[in-house]
Amino acid sequence: MKIFIGVLAFASFASSSLDYPRLQIVDRNMYSEGKKNITIAYLLQGFSSQEAALTSEVGKWLIKVQKQAETELTKKLGVPLILETTGIKVPGDELSHLLSTWISSGQMHADTVVDYLKTFFRKSFNPDIICLVTKATLYDSRHQKHLGYSKIYEFVSMVWCQCFYITSIKLRTAGAHLSTLIESSISPNKRSRWSKMTKEEKELYLDGCNIRYKERNKSGFWRISRCSYLQR
């Protein structure tokens, strides 16, 4: 299988520019004494709606890669983690059309795409990570192809975007690529002293992931809101 995966992580997503008076942030990791969850969803560009399922060949492969990345991350970070899949879908007509315009001769300009996707999903409630999966070949502004391509923002406190290329390689290698990209999104300040941090300090940092939202309905009751990226 030959695909590109563009990774966008949106954590602590209720930014000050958004006004949702009926919503209340729920830091679910904060109340978990066990493994810390990092939520991840997949957006499949150039695939059929039938392939956009966790039971499809593509879906099964992604889950295996994700599981390997989960194992790698747990070892690297020293904190038990779960990469929780929240969805898999094809983009809507508008986004699908735009993505296709950035593909020429089977190549996609990675920098343009990740910057746009960061903006496109900014006013949505999203999982911690959104992976764009495409059959195109990624290249940068210098027209160089990349096995790994990344634009790094701070994990948890900000938005970050990364892309990496996976060809016919072993699942373990693919999982290692994904885990490295996620690990590299940790803020430089935290990453430089991660090995010296206590387990409690590491867990506190990861409490910023797995953010959910409670919405007050007309009866005054609260319910957990699902990630709205699935409706975009």
Top pLDDT among 108 and 192 is at 192
pLDDT at 28 over 60: no
Per-domain boundaries in the chain: 3-231
Q: ∠ CA(21), CA(88), CA(17), 5° rounding?
A: 25
Q: Are 217 and 204 in contact (CB under 8 A)?
A: no
pLDDT band at 2 (very low <50, low <70, confident <90, very high): very low
- The average pLDDT across 143-156 equals 53
Domain 3-231 classified CATH 3.40.390? yes
**What integer pLDDT is reported at residue 104 of this predicted model?**
85
- The average pLDDT across 4-24 equals 42
pLDDT band at 183 (very low <50, low <70, confident <90, very high): confident
**What integer pLDDT is reported at residue 73 of this predicted model?**
92
pLDDT digits (tens, 9 = 90+) for 77-98: 999 999 988 888 898 898 899 9
Percent of the chain with pLDDT over 90: 16
Top pLDDT among 73 and 166 is at 73
